[in-house]
Structure 1
Amino acid sequence: MGFEFLGLSEQLLAAVEEAGYTEPTPIQAKAIPAVLQGKDILGIAQTGTGKTASFTLPMIDILSQGRARARMPRSLILEPTRELAAQVAENFEKYGKNHKLTMALLIGGVAFAEQEKLLDRGVDVLIATPGRLLDHLERGKVMLTGTEILVVDEADRMLDMGFIPDVEKICSLMPPRLQSLFFSATMPKEVKRLTDKFLKDPKEITVSSPKSTAQTITQKLVRVASDPKTKRAALRHLIKTNDVKNGIIFCNRKVDVKIVAKSLAVHGFSVGEIHGDLPQETRMQTLAKYKAGEIQLLVASDVAARGLDVSDITHVFNYDVPNNPEDYIHRIGRTGRAGREGWSFTLTTPRDKKYLDALLKMLGKDIPEEKLEGFEAPEPRGRKPRQQKDDGAKQPPAEKKSSSRRSRGSRDREPRGDDKPVVGMGDHVPAFLMRDAK
């Protein structure tokens, strides 16, 4: 079934075809008709399944009729990260090229003045992170009373990042007549409570288990020593020995992102880094270079695990086993997209046992192992067994040392090899000390 059977307009279908898409993904096929009918949606699907197009496409058609008013956006899309928000904005530009819709992107790291100018003109689509939107609300620069469509994307990631109270506050400012679309990869209790509160008789769409990985991804587990130098050397070996067109290397900590990126650069790799401490402009420039193929490898924290839409990433390397096992799904979901083949390698050390056990329990299966000669973790050392004499006779107990303190002159001394006693201050008194005092 093609996009032409989903009820989209001819203008939108032309833009989709120009973008190179011919068949909708399962979540798009189920969600787009329901959104066009005005229903609330609760979509549960893992990353890389096409969630973004499942709400951007019908929204473009719905918003094509009507007019925006100053400071009163007609629709609102909430995203947990700046990168995701920018990615959604790119989708609206790509699919809405044949429509005259206005759009504003409210994210941190950008001057308020420029964002306020866009809001003053009126926008059909407002894409924002919760924190920056609340800043504009408190400054009186935006009102949500005219909002017709609300999208909360990556709701479980909102929970992980502590944004659920902000999302709940924003939702409470919405008008009663509102179409709400919630999308999430998983459904924790707090997210379920939020959807129960704000969705009205939603159509639930579950595409696949949130704890499953795409069948197009070949997964490997690589056991390495805990030594950081050995671990980095193993990573370089994997990159060199695999046909890596472009890849992402995920680290749990921002400090490790910096160290790994610097190490790869020193060894001649084309590499960039992205994490939360970098300025927004730097992060966007790095992502742009990576998408353009100017950078082969991107070292990232989990801020990039969701929302990085590069269709032909060949490899994902987990430099660390993720602390949250569900992040594994989102990390490796950056490869093997749109039916293409992908490969993921997860480095694990003896120190990662707790996190690895949690990951394997979630997956419900083992990850096939790939051995690297010379990089493996050594076997744990144990106590050597006590050796006994061949005749099995018990050894006499060792003579206990006396607890009484002996004078230096009275200590027993073992003879040297020539059987001569050691002569020292304890055994020999120099003659000058024995002279009579004058």
Structure 2
Amino acid sequence: MKFADIGLSDELLRAVTEAGYDEPTPIQAGAIPSVLMMRDMIGIAQTGTGKTASFVLPMIDILAHGRARARMPRSLILEPTRELAAQVAENFEKYGKYHKLSMALLIGGVQMGDQVKALEKGVDVLIATPGRLMDLFERGKILLTGCNLLVIDEADRMLDMGFIPDIENICTKLPANRQTLLFSATMPPPIKKLADKFLSNPKTIEVARPASRNENIEQFLVKTSERSKRDTLRSLIETEKVGTAIIFCNRKTTVRELAKSLQRAGYQAGEIQGDMDQSSRTAELDRFKNGTINILVASDVAARGLDVKGVSHVFNFDAPWHPDDYVHRIGRTGRAGAQGRAFTLVTPSDGEAVDNIQKLTGYTIPVHETGMAKAEAAHSDAPEEERAPRRAARSDRGGRGRGAAKPVRETVAEATPAKAKKTDDRQKSAAPARRNDQDGPDDGWNGPMPSFLSVGFGS
């Protein structure tokens, strides 16, 4: 089947051809005719199968006729993250270049002024994250009564980030007689309930079993230990001859530290995580896309839907806490029919997480024997007298490498009472800082750490 066979306009076919596409993917071939017939639809497909174009293309043709009014968008696309919203906007610009459609992007982390000005001019397509949309709605800057087409993209990610109540609220402010499209890689019960409530007799298009294995991605487990993870990762990067790779971590602090470690080792590495402001995240992503850097260390803020051509490898530096996240992480490679390789570094404490992943995907991930913690073995085989100075050097927080120091307890015992008290105070003040490094997952919460979490036991 060709794009010309599924009812798209000549102008749109011209833009698609210039973008280098000729044949639709299965989700596109199934979804586009239904959307053009104005039906409600549920699209379930693995990440990397072209879900974005399956609603962007027919929307352009549907909206080609009509006129936008001030503060009343004609269509609305809800995205869970700023990066995904910006990516959908890029798709509209690419495929809609022969149509005179106006578009506005409502995302957090940027000034509201330009967004409000765009809304006042009237827009055909509004692409928004739920938080910023509700903010502007409550300020009276936007009306949703003229929105006749709603797209809920990455619905399962919306669930993970706690946006479902916001989406339900938004749906109640839209016209009852509208077309609604829901796209998701997985279909957990809360998403099914949402679809039953707000979609009318939808057509379901499922091109792969939810969370099933992508045959284009070779998956491996690499056994290691916590202290040898970085050495194991660097060994894999070298032996795999990585061209372009994304490395996923569970915590924002781990992202920062690992990116700096790779840069010190001579790699062209960057980072993207939730504590960065939007301009920095966009700039780092652009550096990765244009090849200025070839390794991107990321939290799960980058796991869903981001489409970067040519990502040959994905490394899970941390095994994901939620098995669904594994599917989306490795989906950054092996996209659009290309081949990819995914490696997950596992420690003895990751057994349950790996079991949950294999249970979800129905696939037993093989162990990558040749990459198994060579650095760890080399470290454990080193003579005890070679390892001892390194431990002593690590304990000397203030020495900065100026020779081996005595253990802290011995130093305190031999010092004068005043010096011993000062040293003890430094140790006490350092302890909370180490605990605060263990921040939570990058799921959108950047608030302060609750005070009760800093209380230890047996102290």
**TM-score normalised by length of structure 2:** 0.81
Which letter maps to 1:41?
M
**Rg larger in structure:** 1
1:259 is aligned to 2:257: yes
Q: Deviations over 1:172-208 (max 9, x none)?
A: 1000110000011111111111110100000001110
Q: Quick check: 1:343 aligned with 2:344? A: no
Is the contact made by 1:248 and 1:297 (CA closer than 8 Å) also made in structure 2? yes
SS, match of residue 151 in structure 2: strand
Residue 375 of structure 1 pairs with residue 373 of structure 2: no
Contact 2:212-2:362 at 8 Å conserved across structures? no
The corresponding residue for 2:157 is: 157
Q: Distance in 2 between matches of 1:217 and 1:189?
A: 27
Which residue of 1 is the match for residue 332 of structure 2? 334
The residue matched to 1:171 in structure 2 has which SS? Answer: helix
Matched residue, 2:442: none
Structure 1 counterpart SS, 2:113: helix
Task: Return the offset for 1:375.
Answer: 3.1
**Higher mean Cα deviation, 182-191 or 65-74?**
182-191
Find the counterpart in structure 2 of residue 299 from structure 1.
Answer: 297
Q: Say whether the 8 Å CA contact 1:224–1:376 is kept in structure 2.
A: no
The equivalent residue for 2:34 is: 34
Rounded to whole Å, the distance in 2 between the matches of 1:39 and 1:363 is: 31
The alpha carbon displacement at 1:213 in A equals 2.4
The alpha carbon displacement at 1:212 in A equals 1.3
SS at match of 1:91: helix
Q: How does 1:73-222 map to 2 (within 5 A)?
A: 73-222=73-222
What are the Cα deviations for residues 330-372 of structure 1, in whole angstroms up to 9, with x where unaligned?
1111111111111111100011111111112222232111134
Q: Amino acid of the residue matched to residue 83 of structure 1?
A: E
Q: Which amino acid aligns with 2:43?
A: G
SS in 2 for 1:54: helix
Q: Can you list the C-alpha shifts for 1:153-172, whole angstroms capped at 9, x where unaligned?
A: 01111010000000000001
Note if contact 1:311-1:338 (Cα within 8 Å) is conserved in structure 2.
no
Alignment partners' CA distance in 1, 2:357 and 2:101? 44
Q: What amino acid sits opposite 1:9 in the alignment?
A: S
- Aligned 8 A contact 2:232 2:374 in 1: no
| 1:288 pairs with 2:289 | no
Code of the residue aligned with 1:16 in structure 2: it is V
**Aligned 8 A contact 1:106 1:127 in 2:** yes
- The alpha-carbon deviation at position 136 of structure 1 amounts to 0.5
1:70-116 Cα offsets, whole Å, 9 max, x none, are 00000000000000000000000000011110000000011111100
* 2:357 alignment partner, one of 351, 356, 359: 359
| Distance in structure 2 (CA, Å) of the matches to 1:323 and 1:316 | 17
> Which residue identity does 1:326 align to in structure 2?
D
Name the counterpart of 2:233.
235
User: Aligned residue for 1:50?
Assistant: 50
* Number of aligned residues: 377
Report the CA distance between 1:373 and its aligned residue.
3.0
One-letter identity of the residue aligned with 1:320: D
Alpha-carbon distance between aligned partners in 1 of 2:168 and 2:11, rounded to the nearest angstrom: 35
CA distance in 2 between counterparts of 1:367 and 1:80 reads 29
The alpha-carbon distance between structure 1 residues 78 and 376, as it changes in their structure 2 partners (threshold 3 A), is farther
The aligned amino acid for 1:46 is Q
Which ranges in structure 2 are unaligned for 5 or more consecutive residues? 381-459
One-letter amino acid of the structure 1 residue matched with residue 58 of structure 2: P
Question: Which amino acid in the other structure matches residue 32 of structure 1?
Answer: I
Take 2:26 and 2:98, find their aligned partners in 1: how far apart are those partners? 25
Following TM superposition, by how much is the alpha carbon of 1:374 offset from its aligned partner in structure 2, in angstroms?
4.0
Query: Distance between the aligned counterparts of 1:81 and 1:172, measured in 2?
Result: 22
| Aligned pair partner of 2:314 in 316, 327, 336 | 316
Deviation string 1:34-61 (CA, Å, 9 cap, x unpaired) is: 0000000111111111000000000000
1:72 maps to which residue?
72
Q: Does the 8 A contact of 2:79 with 2:128 survive in 1?
A: yes
Aligned-partner residue type, residue 180 of structure 1: T
Give the 5 Å matches for 1:414-429: none
Q: For residue 194 of structure 2, what is the amino acid of its counterpart? A: L
Give the structure 2 partner of residue 412 of structure 1: none
Q: Are the counterparts in 2 of residues 225 and 376 from structure 1 also a CA contact under 8 Å?
A: no
* TM-score normalised by structure 1 residue count: 0.85
For 2:363 and 2:330, locate their aligned partners in 1 and report how far apart those are by CA, in whole Å. 16
The structure-2 alpha-carbon separation of the partners of 1:214 and 1:71, relative to structure 1 and needing over 3 Å to count, comes to same
Aligned-partner residue type, residue 292 of structure 1 = N
1:224 correspondence with 2:224: yes
Tell me if the contact between 1:25 and 1:49 (Cα under 8 Å) persists in the aligned partners.
yes
CA distance in 2, matches of 1:15, 1:118: 25
Structure with more of its chain in helix, by fraction: 2
Q: 1:100 to 1:224 in 2, by over 3 A?
A: same
Whole-angstrom CA distance in 1 between matches of 2:45 and 2:67: 32
Give yes or no for contact 1:350–1:377 (8 Å, CA) kept in 2.
Answer: no
CA distance in 2, matches of 1:339, 1:101: 31
Give the percent of matched residue pairs that are identical in Structure 1 and Structure 2.
62
Give the root-mean-square deviation of aligned CA atoms: 1.3
Indicate the SS of the match to 1:245: coil
| 1:234 partner amino acid | T
**Contact 1:252–1:320 under 8 Å retained in 2:** yes
Asked whether the equivalents of residues 244 and 315 of structure 1 are also in contact (C-alpha less than 8 Å), the reply is: yes
| Residue 119 of structure 1, CA deviation | 0.2
State the distance in 2 between where 1:293 and 1:114 align: 30
Unaligned runs of 5+ in 1: 380-438
Q: Structure 2 counterpart of 1:279, which letter?
A: D
Return the alpha-carbon distance in structure 2 between the equivalents of residues 377 and 332 of structure 1.
30
Alignment partner, residue 274 of structure 1: 272
Q: Which moved more, 1:83-92 or 1:213-222?
A: 213-222
